[in-house]
Amino acid sequence: MKSNEIKLLKLIYYNIGAQFCREGNGKGGVVIYSHNSLNFTVIDFHKYSTNKDIEIVGVKLTINTIIIYIISLYRSPTGNFRHFLQTLDGILLSLNSHISHTIICGDTNVNNLTDNNQKKNLNNMLLSHNLTNIINFPTRITNSSASAIDNIFLNITCFDDYYVYPIKNDLSDHDGQMVK
């Protein structure tokens, strides 16, 4: 979606928290919507976003005395995977993610249902920040395949009581995920 199209998409009780819109190349981009009762600040990741390699946005949510970093990202299957890993690692280092309440969600285009080098490299890098993938069910199902390329990563030392499940929808060729 283009920036002007996102502004047209109104969700009751929600506001746009952060957005990155890819100009050209179609598809891609990320947005975080925040409930209008929540206090947040946008984390400026724009300088890190590179079309197709890593498109990333974030918000810093404050609930009582707890600070939660919420990051949403997209990586194209044709993007530079090494650049994606290095950039994400640098961002997480700057946030001290290994000790913070951090949630990363998005389409990494790394299939978590099969053993592969991209999955191993991504999971190892995220583990160095105490982040663990919690999606273990298909998020994109076609007539010929099922994959888990949409992921949610949590610092499970901070979030130890959670439940995650798929949300079927007709908005995309990917199913949504809900974590409580």
The domains of the chain are located at: 3-179
CB atoms within 10 A of CB 27: 9
Residue with tokens 């209008």: 36
What is d(CA 70, CA 131) in angstroms, rounded to the nearest whole number?
A: 13
The matching CATH number, chosen from 3.60.10.10, 3.40.190.10, 3.40.640.10, 3.40.50.300, for 3-179 is 3.60.10.10
* pLDDT at residue 27, rounded to an integer: 67
Per residue in 152-167, pLDDT (tens digit) is 999 878 887 888 776 7
Per residue in 28-53, pLDDT (tens digit) is 778 898 999 998 999 999 999 998 89
What is d(CA 100, CA 66) in angstroms, rounded to the nearest whole number?
A: 9
Predicted TM-score of the model (pTM): 0.89
